Amino acid sequence: MRRYLLGATFLLTASLFAVGQDQSDINHDRKDLHQDKRDLNQDRKDIRNDQRDLNQDRADRNRDARDIRNDQKDINHDRADIRRDLAKGDTADAARDRKDIRQDQRDINHDRKGLRSDQKDINHDRKDLHADRRDAKHDVRDIRHDRRDIRHDKRGK
């Protein structure tokens, strides 16, 4: 009789522990689900910010390229002016045009440096965007798994 009571008590205790454990698993899975949803929202926010940064860097790169083209046109125009001024014998205007050419060349060098910097920023932002998209994809997968685990734990009760 004692063995029977001891066995029944053990089974009863084990089943109560299992029910409590199932509830603990459900609560843990719900916490994981909420954390994964927060992570997903943060990743979506990061994706929007990276996309915005990428667009701004591309626009800046395009502005620098346009500035380089315009400065190159100005240099070509000033060179033509120098040839015309020297043909006339006007060395003062030729000297002024040479000064303008040097200034335009400094501007071109500055814009080229900005162009390289913008391209590096674009490459960096593209890598960040790709990583955030990958993280968002993993968060969606984790959310699905957490929901499945919660359903499974509820059915197992």
Domain ranges of the chain: 2-156
* Tens of pLDDT, residues 103-142: 999 999 999 999 999 999 999 989 988 888 888 888 888 8
**Per residue in 14-70, pLDDT tens?**
454 444 556 677 788 788 888 888 888 888 888 888 899 889 999 999 999 999 999
First to last CA, the chain: 30
Q: Name residues whose C-beta falls within 8 Å of residue 93's C-beta, 6 or more positions apart in sequence.
A: 81, 85
Residue with tokens 């590096």: 120
E strand or H helix at 3: helix 2-88
Architecture of domain 2-156: Orthogonal Bundle (1.10)
Token output for 88: 């006339």
Full-prediction pTM beyond 0.85? Answer: no
Q: How far apart are CA 2 and CA 106, in angstroms?
A: 99
